[in-house]
Amino acid sequence: MSRPSVLLVEDTLSLQMVYRSILATAGHRVAVAGTAEEGLQQFRAHRPMVVLLDLILPDRDGLEVMRDIQAIQPETRVIAITANGSVSRAVEAMRAGAHDFLVKPFDEGRFLSAVQNALAEATPRDTGKTDGQAATRGRDPAEIAESSGFIGSSDAMKRIHMTIGSVARSMATVFITGESGTGKELCALAVHANSNRANGPFIALNCGAIPQDLLESEVFGHMKGSFTGAISDKQGAAQAADGGTLFLDEICEMAPALQTKLLRFLQTSTVQPVGATRPRKVNVRIVCATNRDPLDAVRRGHFREDLYYRLYVVPIHMPPLRERGQDIIEIAEAALARFAQEEGREFHGLDPATRALMLSLPWPGNVRQLLNVMRNVVVLNQGGWVTPDMLPPGLAEEGRPAEPPSPPMAAPDALGTDSLLGLPLAEAERRLIEATLAMHGGSIPKAARVLDVSPSTLYRKIEAWNAKAS
């Protein structure tokens, strides 16, 4: 008889019977155990490629059992199972090397999908390996760097490449943090491109750039006639990403009501378009990002704590450009060569004075700002070596420290907000934003930090004002 391909370690007998029945009906060979000791005995005897492991066992901690399994056979894919009130335990398991996790109660489709994905990933691809050789779980960081489009060889970027290589082929949710312009979407694309979903769709949605009353329709879709203006059925981003990856940028800008629906989507893997009476099943991997501190958003009550623990499984922090050292020069010269080719110009590179200046700048706009600077240099100059005088005017002054903000009680007078009384809310908001921008020299990122909103929110409002004025 063939050895079991799945080991189920679950101490609740009724759940053990249900899970085993579902797996057997789906054609999987299953071994079962009710304790940690029995589970390790079964594992040593059968060496299954996938283990479904309840993290709360009567005789031992499930995380300890997982570490023993990984020590015996590193290529085994462990799917952690935990109760609804212990999501943080599942997060801990993912960081310790679990392939995926399930939070009780979960439906049959999510259960079988997790097992199938784990089995597909655990299947050896190199038939020349002996049984004693462990398959490597992640790809080489150098390969990730080459395929991701990231430029830079700093230690921080090497760690990011290593994390992407380790997590890309799992179903774990990736949560990317970092300032605006650091390359969070590029990181999400790298996770997708190195996953077993690379041939599926990659759908990106900026939660901060879409009006909140339209965001639900953008994420989950809507049915014809479900609201004024719904003249036809619309497929949402979650359904469009079926079989691939859904990237939710600026996730902390999502309204609380929609956060609740997103949490349900993560728990059930189903979407229900606005106006629909029945949910639809989808198979989507979630990657999300924010330029805020997500835990601070939880403390302030802007982001649901349970959703935070659902999403914040594998964190990746994109470092600001000012902390990446020589990466600044590597990115600048690569951009210079690319833009010069596009514009039909010939540049030799950055001269020593320009390099020194670039390394001294704070780059508040990060990689996006650096790329814009190099584009400006190429467009406005004929070629040769890039010297400091070729850089955009005022760039060097950005390194000067900003004036400290006014004390909270003085803010209304400093901004002239005493004149806001009696104005419509929209007009008062506009004047406050414009005054804050003026205080910070027109810098949208700085004004956004003071106002505690996303920079894209300010960009969107300014664009709407300009469109209305024209």
Residue 137 in contact with residue 75, Cβ under 8 Å? yes
**Res 133: pLDDT:** 36
Give the whole-angstrom CA distance, residue 465 versus residue 470.
9
Residue 392's domain spans which residues?
321-399
Give the SS3 label for residue 446: helix
Query: Which of 399, 424, 447 represents a domain boundary (last residue)?
Result: 399
Q: How confident is the model at residue 273 (pLDDT cuts 50, 70, 90)?
A: confident
Judged against a pLDDT cut of 60, whether residue 52 lies above it is answered with yes
Tell me the torsion sign for CA atoms 150, 151, 153, 157.
Answer: negative
Residues 63 and 117 in one domain: yes
Judged against a pLDDT cut of 50, whether residue 414 lies above it is answered with no
Pick the range with the lowest mean pLDDT from 119-128, 319-328, 343-352, 434-443.
119-128
pTM: 0.65
**Structural domains of the chain, count:** 4
69-78 pLDDT, tens digit per residue, is: 988 888 888 9
- What is the share, in percent, of the chain residues with pLDDT greater than 90? 32
**Res 371: pLDDT:** 93
Residues 72 and 176 in one domain: no
DSSP per-residue string spanning 160-197: HHHHHHHHTTS---EEEE--TTS-HHHHHHHHHHTSTT
How far is CA 408 from its chain centroid? 34
Domain membership of residue 137 (yes or no) is no
DSSP per-residue string spanning 395-444: TGGGGSPPPPPPPGGGHHHHHTGGGGTTS-HHHHHHHHHHHHHHHTTT-H
Domain membership of residue 369 (yes or no) is yes
Q: List beta partners, residue 103.
A: 82
Query: Which of 376, 399, 422 represents a domain boundary (last residue)?
Result: 399
Which DSSP letter does residue 326 get? Answer: T
150-203 pLDDT, tens digit per residue, is: 788 888 898 898 888 888 877 788 999 999 899 999 999 999 988 888 889 999
Give the SS3 label for residue 287: strand
Residue 117's nearest CA partner among 190, 51, 170 is: 170
CATH of the domain at 289: 3.40.50.300
Highest mean pLDDT, choosing among 104-108, 164-168, 292-296, 417-421: 292-296
Residues 382 and 420 in one domain: no
Residues 302 and 325 in one domain: no
Residues 178 and 327 in one domain: no
Average pLDDT in the 273-279 region?
A: 84
Residues 313 and 329 in one domain: no
Residues 462 and 440 in one domain: yes
Residues 385 and 416 in one domain: no
Residues 415 and 356 in one domain: no
Length of the chain equals 470
Domain membership of residue 131 (yes or no) is no
Number of Cβ within a 10 Å radius of residue 270: 17
Helix axes 87-95, 62-72, angle to 10 degrees: 20
Q: How confident is the model at residue 149 (pLDDT cuts 50, 70, 90)?
A: low
Residues 451 and 375 in one domain: no
